[in-house]
Structure 1
Amino acid sequence: MAQPPMSTTPAVAAAAAAAPPLLSEPWGVPLSDGRLWAKDPSVVRFGERYLMYFTVHPAPGDERSGLRVGIAASSDLRSWELLARMQPTGEYDARGLAAPGAVVIDGVVHLFYQSYGTGARDAICHASSTDGVTFTSDASNPVFRPSGEWNCGRAIDADVIVDGDRLLLAWATRDPDMRTQMVGTAEADLDSAFSRQDWRDLSLAGPALTPELDWELECIEAPALVRSKSGLVMFYAGGYNNDPQQIGYATSNDGVNWTRGSAEPFMTNGKPGTWNSSESGHPGVLTDADGRTYLFFQGNDTGGRTNLLAATEILWDDGGRPRLRTATR
């Protein structure tokens, strides 16, 4: 059953009324009963096409349960073709794999995804590919779990960005009671293998972001990293799925300390009757070869029975602050 809409401030209500234009109709993968379902998008440009990595259910006839990482391709960011589903490769992801974050480095796609279905033991795994479709798993998987007494040791929702001579990893975790979701960061040398021994936890003392605003409720998750004139920018999801989940952003000079860009959501869930009235969540950011920036996100109007992926464009002001493209600009 869909959750009732949250009460909103006038500013949030106005933002919801001015929904950004989408690149195309929201897209999902058909389930056996005809519902469309896809979540957690991460998109890269690889050669002459775009590849999207996302969470999907197993293929019809697959007797193994658990979620999968789907791979879809597009030539224009508007129409997508499902190419493959990644399968578990070890005991660590035998119950499922999900929520990928991808980056292309020297012609290789490095994919960071979470194991799924083991609660506090879920962790970040790594695989690489020279064609973007066929992946080789890291022998040291899982490659990252957080340390520190403030969290439960879980790591999910990976995203990565090349930042100088390092690869910066953002991830979500929960407090020791598994109640509150928060975000942390880690780094590895860019010339490393990104294996377990290569990562340095940057959030040992505490989270990079924890829910504080009313609309964030008990959850900040799904970090999505990009760089602008203002430094590093992290888009994130506030609120658990369909609470509703909405998207905010924060900025940082070092990848460790983060400051919210606004007290209001950057993107709200849609108004009643729209396709994303239950949520606009789990952002992913693509900076294209021409410098344009696109925000991918999931949404639905069914309280989570269906899930669709969509994209819109982000514009930047002279100070490097983001705003959503409107229908007229």
Structure 2
Amino acid sequence: MKHLLFVLLFSPLFVFAQERMMFGDTSRKGVPYSKDPHVVKFEGRYLMYFSIPPFEDKTNPIKGWNIGIAESTDLIHWEKIGEINPEGSYESKGLCAPCALVVDGKVHLFYQTYGNGRNDAICHAFSTNGISFQRNKTNPIFHPTGDWNCGRAIDAEVIKFENRYLLYFATRDPNFEVQIQGVAAAPLTTDFNRDDWEQLADYPILVPEYDWEKKCVEGASVIQRGNELFMFYAGAYNNEPQQVGIAKSSDGVHWKKLSEEPFLANGKPGEWNSSESGHPHIFADSDGRTYLFFQGNNDNGKTWLISNVEVLWNENGPYLKED
């Protein structure tokens, strides 16, 4: 029995599921450590892209944060099938926080460089199989301009809305203290190249306001319902605790928060996500059901797990089923 428990917790891939998904890749640190989930359905299977930390072994030639790839047939049990590691000088310090979008039989991946401070920016790559990616030759494709931000762009989210693609990103104020949200757009004919993106607002479209959001709103994930967009966002920096909020928009630029309280809170003391429930991704399945993927832990970031909950909808917007 003790041997079985050891295998479950310390195998190269940690997966535990009872009534819900619990996923953590152990390949980098020897303990479950996966963040920033994003899921698509592609060629009859679910693919999840997620951030994985630097190797515990500092002599490993692969440096920095990278992106892991896992597949599933049921959104609960996941198997890691690949990684996306740095290519080129602009990724040399790392890459993470993926967003995937399926367009015309290809998976388009939007992600950030990491480890460059104010110079971190959004990049793009594409794949015909969802595993092997070709970089956009114009990378990095986007960073914000204007005196309202620090020039950094992270946490990309791209969605097709009306007659264009919208790119949501997190940045910081000029003092590099407060995390805020911005938006850019590209035409439907785009190859997602750098010159196609136009910043839509010279001001933040979402800022922290409530006590639980502290000095950070980030990790936007957006879904269309009817003629409106709903944004699931992370409030507060990691483990403060980070929790998930909701905002709504009819044009993709102007947003109204739906509640002064978190939509998805961190867990109670002793629960697996007592340190946070953060970095959301709202996934719409082909059957119309929607699931909120998020990261959490109960040890202030010594480990990280990814889970999901089903999101239900009524005339007022999204809600969670009570336990």
C-alpha distance in 1 between matches for 2:66 and 2:263: 29
Preserved contact between residue 230 and residue 251 of structure 1 (Cα < 8 Å): no
Preserved contact between residue 182 and residue 220 of structure 1 (Cα < 8 Å): yes
- 2:24 alignment partner, one of 1, 24, 28: 28
Tell me the residue number matched to 2:60.
62
Q: List structure 1 segments (4+ residues) > 6 angstroms apart after TM superposition.
A: none
Query: Where in structure 2 are the equivalents of 1:70-149 lying within 5 Å?
Result: 70-149=68-147
Please tell me whether residue 250 in structure 1 is matched to residue 257 in structure 2.
no
Aligned-residue offset at 1:34: 3.0
* Farther-moved stretch of structure 1 (91-100 vs 61-70): 61-70
SS in structure 2 of the partner of residue 120 of structure 1? helix
Query: Where in structure 2 are the equivalents of 1:265-276 lying within 5 Å?
Result: 265-276=262-273
Aligned-residue offset at 1:86: 0.4
Q: Normalising to structure 2: TM-score of the pair?
A: 0.91
Query: Where in structure 2 are the equivalents of 1:254-293 lying within 5 Å?
Result: 254-293=251-290
Preserved contact between residue 293 and residue 309 of structure 2 (Cα < 8 Å): yes
Please tell me whether residue 218 in structure 1 is matched to residue 252 in structure 2.
no
Please tell me whether residue 43 in structure 1 is matched to residue 33 in structure 2.
no
Tell me the residue number matched to 1:16.
none
Aligned-residue offset at 1:22: 8.4
Aligned-residue offset at 1:89: 1.3
Tell me the residue number matched to 1:316.
313
Tell me the residue number matched to 2:174.
176
Alignment CA distance shift 1:22-1:103 (3 Å): farther
Higher relative contact order (CA 8 A, sep 6+): 1
Alignment CA distance shift 1:23-1:174 (3 Å): farther
Aligned-residue offset at 1:188: 0.7
* Farther-moved stretch of structure 1 (224-233 vs 135-144): 224-233
- 2:191 alignment partner, one of 178, 188, 193: 193
C-alpha distance in 2 between matches for 1:171 and 1:23: 33
Alignment CA distance shift 1:53-1:123 (3 Å): same
Preserved contact between residue 236 and residue 247 of structure 1 (Cα < 8 Å): yes
Tell me the residue number matched to 1:18.
none
Q: Structure 1: where are the runs of 5+ without partners?
A: 1-20
SS in structure 1 of the partner of residue 212 of structure 2? helix
Amino acid at match of 1:219: C
C-alpha distance in 2 between matches for 1:176 and 1:315: 38
Tell me the residue number matched to 2:9.
none
Alignment CA distance shift 1:150-1:107 (3 Å): same
Aligned-residue offset at 1:31: 4.3
Alignment CA distance shift 1:32-1:133 (3 Å): closer
SS in structure 1 of the partner of residue 23 of structure 2? coil
C-alpha distance in 1 between matches for 2:210 and 2:197: 31
Amino acid at match of 1:52: M
Alignment CA distance shift 1:101-1:22 (3 Å): farther
Amino acid at match of 2:279: H
CA RMSD of aligned residues (A): 1.6
Alignment CA distance shift 1:32-1:114 (3 Å): closer
C-alpha distance in 1 between matches for 2:182 and 2:29: 38
Preserved contact between residue 28 and residue 53 of structure 2 (Cα < 8 Å): no
Amino acid at match of 1:209: L
C-alpha distance in 2 between matches for 1:62 and 1:322: 44
- Superposed CA deviations along residues 67-91 of structure 1, whole A, max 9, x for unmatched, are 0011110011011111111011111
C-alpha distance in 2 between matches for 1:32 and 1:55: 11
Amino acid at match of 2:308: A
Tell me the residue number matched to 1:152.
150
Please tell me whether residue 294 in structure 1 is matched to residue 283 in structure 2.
no
C-alpha distance in 2 between matches for 1:44 and 1:101: 9
Alignment CA distance shift 1:22-1:42 (3 Å): farther
